[in-house]
Structure 1
Amino acid sequence: MDKQQQILEKAVELFGEKGYENTSIQEIADEIGIAKGSIYSYFQSKEDLLISIYEHYQQLVFERAFVVSLNRSIPVKQRLMKQFEVQFEGIAEYKFFMKMQMRGDGPKHSEKLKQFEYRMRGRFFTWLDANIIELFGPDITPYKWDLFWMVQSIYTSYMKLFVSDHITIQAKDLATHLVTQLQHLGESYLHGESKPLLKDEEMASFAVKMDKQGAFVSFEKREQAWKNIYETIQLCNTIQENRRQELIDCVDRISIEVNKQQPEQIILKGLFSILKSEPFLMEPVEQLEAILFTE
């Protein structure tokens, strides 16, 4: 584990135990066994460290869904269910972080935190927009803001229950339930049973485009690397279909393992070796490997 990752994980642990306000940079440094100044070489302030934590774990959750979205062999509805499912699995794995975020840990009235929330809302809505259009077709466009708002509300409400210690909900069941409700809502609009309440001009301030670069994480670079490897496999015409599926399954397995809280390096090494055994994959695989293990 590199130094920056050590700092992130120890900060999450201490913020979770003591709260953001009651944890100092000195305490984080002492716990890791490094000088206080070493942390400032990565993060200019405690606030920057917190935002980096939020971005890092949000990216791990979003990236799981993004990789699933690349597998076009899965039917649209089932692919959307799977995207929600892997998000909820990520939320369950990083429950400590999600609780910290939902508590609103951080400096009060922080402009940087507002910008972070703005970027994350943009990522969620942009992702949902593409999936809603694919699920229902372009006729759903006039109703998309109402669907965004209702799905976000359902998602957020259930997420609070999902990370609680008192209620047990399976990620797959929750994903199926959410997409089923989305489908009912969308079909009711398309059948003329309801009219849209929210219009583009009224929702202009919420129309945030997908963020390409976070404050600390390059979303676009990572996601382009995943896209390149999927497209290379899918477009190759010199391999058998069963081998193509094996390679896609291998990439899927890497995306799951690398986004775990504690990835098994020996498993990742073996999976990357399988991909590198195909000469046509060498370049995109090495690009992906470099991005995943140097950021």
Structure 2
Amino acid sequence: MKETIIRSALQLFSREGYTSTSMQSIAEECGISKASLYKYFDSKEELLIQVFEQSLTRMFQQAQEITVNDSLSNRERFVQKIILELEVNQEQRAFVNLIVRAMPIHQNQKVRDLMSRTKTALMNWHKRSLLEAYGEDIRPYVWDLVVVFQGTIREYIVLMMDDYKVLDKNKIAELLVSHCDSIVAGFNKEHTVLSTSLMNEYETFTLFDKQRTEEEIFMDIIDRISQKAETLSAGKKNEVQNAIEQLLYHLKSEDGQHLLIEAICLYIDARVSIKEEIERITQLLKNRHCKEGYST
């Protein structure tokens, strides 16, 4: 139910605005009483913050799927993570602006804490991504590389989201990785500014750093498909929902039939586009197959 409340709140905040959305309207959207809603969230402010944190957590979880994708090289994984970050920022930029407008940072300690946690989480995630891409040799100066990387990607995000420049995310990702390649190749360790001890508070930060189980990932995908099905007419919606139930059943099954899963996905895709979800399912099934082969 908590997930349902967060999804409904996000839709209402985006559609009606934070100020115009009441806890009563959120409860009605979820089909529960206002009293039941308050069992999950103490206030509308807390709900707004958790909506944002969940969207950030989802990005990190999707990045973890990229990390375990054995079909990609370390460099390709890094490129894909940058593209993911650009896409999420494009989706969430308006929502971040909504938070700042609704609860100005200088007036609200909870928002200041949220932004501080977000900054720390992103820096820690970027550090891990760079280490995964370039190995332990860069650890002595990894934080300097993080700052250079973040400063560059932030400017592209501002150009895309605030200045409405139409930019190719794939080209941006390739360019950023090429710049990182050059820095790593020519870096003089004597020029290191940010030591591990100096960045200790970031080194020990673990918020949002939870690895999901395969079932949790599949449930996330199913949830996304179900949301897309909401846009269909009543008849087609029922057809797709029945197919989704069958898809979930076979995905959870340890001996899930890949051809049958593929057929169900194609059936749904013919009614509502789920190409991105199909790609994620295909990769997860490949990973499952590899693990099964290794275990035998």
193, 207, 210: which is aligned to 1:211?
207
State whether residues 61 and 212 of structure 2, in contact with CA within 8 Å, keep that contact through their aligned partners in structure 1.
Answer: no
- Structure 2 gap ranges (5+): 230-240, 259-283, 286-296
Q: Indicate how the Cα distance of structure 1 residues 113 and 176 shifts in structure 2: closer, same or farther if over 3 A, else same.
A: same
Q: Which residue of 2 aligns with 1:68?
A: 66
1:57 to partner: Cα distance? 1.1
Q: Which residue of 1 aligns with 2:193?
A: 197
Q: Distance in 2 between matches of 1:254 and 1:166?
A: 34
Q: Which residue of 2 aligns with 1:166?
A: 164
Q: Which residue of 1 aligns with 2:36?
A: 38
Q: Indicate how the Cα distance of structure 1 residues 31 and 267 shifts in structure 2: closer, same or farther if over 3 A, else same.
A: closer
> Comparing 26-35 with 77-86, which one deviates more in the overlay?
26-35
Q: Which residue of 1 aligns with 2:253?
A: 276
Are 1:262 and 2:260 an aligned pair?
A: no
Q: Indicate how the Cα distance of structure 1 residues 98 and 273 shifts in structure 2: closer, same or farther if over 3 A, else same.
A: farther
Q: Distance in 1 between matches of 2:225 and 2:168?
A: 18
213, 216, 227: which is aligned to 1:225?
213
1:53 to partner: Cα distance? 0.5
1:272 to partner: Cα distance? 5.8
Q: Distance in 2 between matches of 1:204 and 1:181?
A: 26
State whether residues 146 and 198 of structure 1, in contact with CA within 8 Å, keep that contact through their aligned partners in structure 2.
Answer: yes
State whether residues 29 and 36 of structure 1, in contact with CA within 8 Å, keep that contact through their aligned partners in structure 2.
Answer: yes
Q: Distance in 2 between matches of 1:13 and 1:163?
A: 20
Paired residue secondary structure (1:162): helix
Paired residue secondary structure (2:119): helix
Let me know the Cα RMSD of the aligned residues: 3.9
Q: Distance in 2 between matches of 1:111 and 1:255?
A: 31
Q: Distance in 2 between matches of 1:166 and 1:107?
A: 23
**Bigger share in helix:** 2
131, 140, 148: which is aligned to 2:146?
148
Q: Which residue of 2 aligns with 1:59?
A: 57
Aligned length: 248
Identical aligned residues as a percent: 25
Paired amino acid for 1:49: L
Are 1:110 and 2:108 an aligned pair?
A: yes
CA deviations 1:190-242 (Å, max 9, x no partner) are: xx297122223333344342226xxxxxx62xx2414x99xxxxxxxxxxxxx
State whether residues 60 and 259 of structure 1, in contact with CA within 8 Å, keep that contact through their aligned partners in structure 2.
Answer: no
Paired residue secondary structure (2:145): helix
- Structure 1 gap ranges (5+): 213-218, 230-250, 286-295
Q: Distance in 1 between matches of 2:189 and 2:156?
A: 26
Paired amino acid for 2:41: F
Q: Indicate how the Cα distance of structure 1 residues 263 and 209 shifts in structure 2: closer, same or farther if over 3 A, else same.
A: farther
1:21 to partner: Cα distance? 4.8
> Comparing 47-56 with 179-188, which one deviates more in the overlay?
179-188
Q: Indicate how the Cα distance of structure 1 residues 210 and 277 shifts in structure 2: closer, same or farther if over 3 A, else same.
A: closer
State whether residues 155 and 178 of structure 1, in contact with CA within 8 Å, keep that contact through their aligned partners in structure 2.
Answer: yes
